[in-house]
């Protein structure tokens, strides 16, 4: 049976009067081709399909998760469709895509995402992963230009739900700009509760200890080998008096949940390639 692997999560924020629902999906690594794809693109697509067919199973097994057999017969695009339809079925307020929706930064992949988002019957909040930053054809192109049709201003966006907000933050290059840090600090200063959406999980609390020992420092944001600004951002997130209620991330391709600071949780969600997704309810006490 084709059953998604759904993780359910409640984020409790004192003072909220309404309930909000979101579906988080991540790391589907679509490699799409269309009539405009050239030979290089087609080669990349073929390489990507081969790589992820095995890698999704390897990554799931390593994390003690299941890569269901039915998923082997599905393309990444088909998984994207199922996940998007599920978000619509549960009446989510938005579909959150925490990066690596596509495997590399090509015209065909962005056109696919543009069409995917346009066809959804709910708002989509999409942030870049390190793979959205991967442009193997023009290594130095600023991927933000290419991403513009699917996410205006990918570095930092605020989605205001009145009683709380989702801050979508691009940390996928394992770095942060001065401007991004200042914007997060300014947002925290407003006092409204924040749910922070990033691609790379933040090296704090349970992730710093347990997840790091499972998967290594490379997969976490703001470790000692990262830039000064990356570590500066981690300090902002760690402040006990800021109003970040929860962090949602992807990148590691498995489900991990633990406090990033006392009483506040960080969550990563399994790859959509194995049907992973997270149904999130945000509500008051």
Residues forming the site for Fe ion (CB under 5 A): 27, 100, 129-130, 251
- Beta carbons within 10 angstroms of residue 3's beta carbon: 8
Measured from the CB atom, is 29 or 157 closer to Fe ion? 29
- From the CB of 185, what's the least distance to Fe ion, in Å? 25
- From the CB of 170, what's the least distance to Fe ion, in Å? 12
Measured from the CB atom, is 130 or 177 closer to Fe ion? 130
Q: What's the angle, vertex CA 141, arms to CA 140 and CA 146, rounded to 5?
A: 155
If you search the block for the tokens 């442009």, which residue do you land on? 135
Closest CA to 180 of 167, 189, 194, 163: 167
Quote the CA–CA distance of 266 and 258 in Å, as a whole number. 6
Measured from the CB atom, is 19 or 58 closer to Fe ion? 58
- From the CB of 130, what's the least distance to Fe ion, in Å? 4
Measured from the CB atom, is 251 or 278 closer to Fe ion? 251
- From the CB of 131, what's the least distance to Fe ion, in Å? 6
Q: Which residues pair with 94 in a beta bridge?
A: 22
Alpha helices in the chain, H assignment, sequence order: 39-62, 69-72, 76-89, 107-119, 143-147, 178-189, 205-206, 212-215, 228-238
- From the CB of 56, what's the least distance to Fe ion, in Å? 10
Measured from the CB atom, is 171 or 242 closer to Fe ion? 171
Q: What's the angle, vertex CA 167, arms to CA 161 and CA 169, rounded to 5?
A: 160
Closest CA to 279 of 20, 18, 13: 20
């Amino acid at each position: 049976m084709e059953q998604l692997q759904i993780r359910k999560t409640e984020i409790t924020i004192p003072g909220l009067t309404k309930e909000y629902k979101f579906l988080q999906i991540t790391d589907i690594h679509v490699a799409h081709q269309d009539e405009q794809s050239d030979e290089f693109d087609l080669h990349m697509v073929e390489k990507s399909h081969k790589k992820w067919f095995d890698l999704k199973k390897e990554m799931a097994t390593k994390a003690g998760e299941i890569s269901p057999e039915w998923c082997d017969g599905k393309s990444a695009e088909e998984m994207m469709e199922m996940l998007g339809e599920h978000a619509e079925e549960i009446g989510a307020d938005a579909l959150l895509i925490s990066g690596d929706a596509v495997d590399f930064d090509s015209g065909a992949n962005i056109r696919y995402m543009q069409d995917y988002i346009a066809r959804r019957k709910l708002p989509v909040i999409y942030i870049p992963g390190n793979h959205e930053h991967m442009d193997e054809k023009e290594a130095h192109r600023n991927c933000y230009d290419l991403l513009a049709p699917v996410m205006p201003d990918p570095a930092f966006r605020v989605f205001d739900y009145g009683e709380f907000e989702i801050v979508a933050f691009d940390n996928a290059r394992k770095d942060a700009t001065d401007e991004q840090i200042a914007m997060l600090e300014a947002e925290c200063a407003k006092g409204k509760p924040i749910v922070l959406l990033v691609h790379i999980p933040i090296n704090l609390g349970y992730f710093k200890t347990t997840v790091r020992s499972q998967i290594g420092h490379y997969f976490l944001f703001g470790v000692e080998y990262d830039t000064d600004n990356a570590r500066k951002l981690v300090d902002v997130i760690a402040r006990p008096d800021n109003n970040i209620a929860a962090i949602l991330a992807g990148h590691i391709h498995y489900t991990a949940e633990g406090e990033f600071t006392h009483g506040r949780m960080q969550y990563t969600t399994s790859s959509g390639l194995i049907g992973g997704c997270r149904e999130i309810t945000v509500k008051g006490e």
